[in-house]
Structure 1
Amino acid sequence: MCINFLSRGFSLGLGVVFVQILDVFSTTRAQTSLMQSLCIGIIYTGAIICGPIVQKLGPATSVILGAVLSLGGCVGASFAPNVEVLIVTVGFITGFGLCLAYFSSYMVVSIVMTKHMSVGVSLISAGAKLGAFISPQLNRILLDAYGWRGAFLLLGGINFNMCVLGFTIRCLTKPLFLKKTSKGEPKPKSKPFNISVFKNVSYTIFVLCQLPIWTFYTGLPVFIVDIAENRGYSLEAASLLLSAFTVSGVVGSFLGGLMDTVLNIPALLSSAAALSVCGLLSFGLTYFDDHGAMVALMVGHGILIPVVNVCVPVIVHQLCGHAMYSSALSFFFGIAGIADICSGPVNGAIRDITGDYIMMFYLAGGVALFMGVVFLLLELWVRRGRSSLKDAHVSPETVNTKL
Structure 2
Amino acid sequence: MPHEGEATPRISKVQDRGWAWVVLVATVLVQALTLGFPSCVGVFFKDLQYDFRASNSETSWFPSIMTAVLHAGGCESILVERFGCRVTVMLGGLLSGVGMVASAFSKSISQLYITAGFITGLGSCFSFQAGVTVLGYYFIRRRALANALASTGVSIGLTLWPLISQYLLDEMGWRNTFLIFGGVMLNCCVCGAVMRPVPDKPPGPTLKSCPEQSREGACLSNGSTSCHEEPLHPSKRAACFQTLQKYLAFDIFCKNKGYQIYTIGVSWMVIGFVLPLIYLVPYATLNGVEEHKAALLISIIGFINIFMRPMAGLLSGLSIFTGRRIYLFSMAAMLSGLSNLICAISSEYSVLVFYCIVYSVSMSVIGALIFQVLMDVVEMDRFSSALGLFTILESITILIGPPLAGLLVDLLGHYRYVFYASSFFMISAALFMGLSFCTMEAKNKLKETNKPPPETPSKGKYTEVPTELDHDRNGPPTVVYVTSI
Same fold (TM over 0.5): yes
Structure 2 counterpart of 1:180: 201
Q: Is 1:26 matched up with 2:86? A: no
Contact 1:4 1:127 in 2 (8 A): yes
Contact 1:250 1:303 in 2 (8 A): no
Q: Deviations over 1:358-384 (max 9, x none)?
A: 222222223322222222213323433
Structure 2 counterpart of 1:237: 293
Matches within 5 A, 1:31-50: 31-45=58-72, 47-50=73-76
Tell me whether 297-306 or 181-190 shows the greater mean CA deviation.
181-190
Structure 1 197/150 Cα, relative in aligned 2: closer, same or farther at 3 Å? same
Q: Is 1:223 matched up with 2:279? A: yes
Identity %: 22
Structure 1 counterpart of 2:102: 76
Q: Is 1:197 matched up with 2:252? A: yes
The structural deviation recorded for 1:225 is 0.8
Q: Is 1:10 matched up with 2:65? A: no
Q: Is 1:125 matched up with 2:146? A: no
Structure 1 counterpart of 2:172: 146
The structural deviation recorded for 1:161 is 1.2
Structure 2 counterpart of 1:383: 441
Structure 2 counterpart of 1:207: 263
Contact 1:219 1:344 in 2 (8 A): yes
The structural deviation recorded for 1:386 is 4.7
Residue 111 of structure 1 is aligned with which of 137, 146, 152?
137
Structure 1 counterpart of 2:116: 90
Matches of 1:42 and 1:111 in 2, distance apart? 25
Contact 1:210 1:339 in 2 (8 A): no
Q: Deviations over 1:168-219 (max 9, x none)?
A: 112xxx3x22x43487785686834331011222321221122332112211
- Where has structure 1 moved over 4 Å in runs of 4 or more? 182-190, 388-391
Contact 1:252 1:304 in 2 (8 A): no
Contact 2:89 2:188 in 1 (8 A): yes
Residue 352 of structure 1 is aligned with which of 400, 410, 413?
410
Matches of 2:41 and 2:117 in 1, distance apart? 10
Structure 2 counterpart of 1:398: none
Matches of 2:81 and 2:453 in 1, distance apart? 44
Gaps of 5+ in 1: 396-403
Matches of 1:235 and 1:252 in 2, distance apart? 26
Tell me whether 363-372 or 128-137 shows the greater mean CA deviation.
363-372
Contact 1:197 1:327 in 2 (8 A): no
Tell me whether 291-300 or 325-334 shows the greater mean CA deviation.
325-334
Matches of 1:192 and 1:214 in 2, distance apart? 22
Residue 276 of structure 1 is aligned with which of 334, 337, 356?
334
Structure 1 77/273 Cα, relative in aligned 2: closer, same or farther at 3 Å? same
Matches of 1:335 and 1:246 in 2, distance apart? 26
The structural deviation recorded for 1:393 is 3.8
The structural deviation recorded for 1:320 is 2.2
Structure 2 counterpart of 1:156: 182
Contact 1:259 1:270 in 2 (8 A): no
Tell me whether 270-279 or 360-369 shows the greater mean CA deviation.
360-369
The structural deviation recorded for 1:259 is 2.7
Whichever residue aligns with residue 339 of structure 2, its letter is L
Structure 1 367/161 Cα, relative in aligned 2: closer, same or farther at 3 Å? closer
Matches of 1:334 and 1:238 in 2, distance apart? 32
Residue 368 of structure 1 is aligned with which of 426, 443, 464?
426
Structure 1 192/360 Cα, relative in aligned 2: closer, same or farther at 3 Å? closer
More helix by share: 1
Matches of 2:372 and 2:204 in 1, distance apart? 34
Q: What is the DSSP-based 3-state SS (H/G/I as helix, E as strand, rest coil) of the residue aligned with 1:79?
A: coil
Whichever residue aligns with residue 293 of structure 2, its letter is A
Q: What is the DSSP-based 3-state SS (H/G/I as helix, E as strand, rest coil) of the residue aligned with 2:320?
A: coil
The structural deviation recorded for 1:121 is 1.2
Q: What is the DSSP-based 3-state SS (H/G/I as helix, E as strand, rest coil) of the residue aligned with 2:363?
A: helix
The structural deviation recorded for 1:389 is 6.4
Q: Is 1:51 matched up with 2:77? A: yes
Matches of 2:388 and 2:193 in 1, distance apart? 27
Contact 2:249 2:388 in 1 (8 A): no
Tell me whether 364-373 or 100-109 shows the greater mean CA deviation.
364-373
Contact 2:283 2:416 in 1 (8 A): no
The structural deviation recorded for 1:387 is 3.0
Contact 2:64 2:402 in 1 (8 A): yes
Q: How many residues align?
A: 389
Structure 1 counterpart of 2:126: 100
RMSD: 2.1
TM-score (norm 1): 0.91
The structural deviation recorded for 1:262 is 2.2
Gaps of 5+ in 2: 1-27, 210-218, 220-227, 230-242, 455-485
Q: Deviations over 1:276-301 (max 9, x none)?
A: 22222111112222101101101211
Matches of 2:94 and 2:330 in 1, distance apart? 40
Matches of 1:393 and 1:314 in 2, distance apart? 30
Matches of 1:103 and 1:35 in 2, distance apart? 21
The structural deviation recorded for 1:385 is 5.0
Contact 1:248 1:299 in 2 (8 A): yes
Matches of 1:274 and 1:314 in 2, distance apart? 14
The structural deviation recorded for 1:131 is 0.9
Whichever residue aligns with residue 192 of structure 2, its letter is G
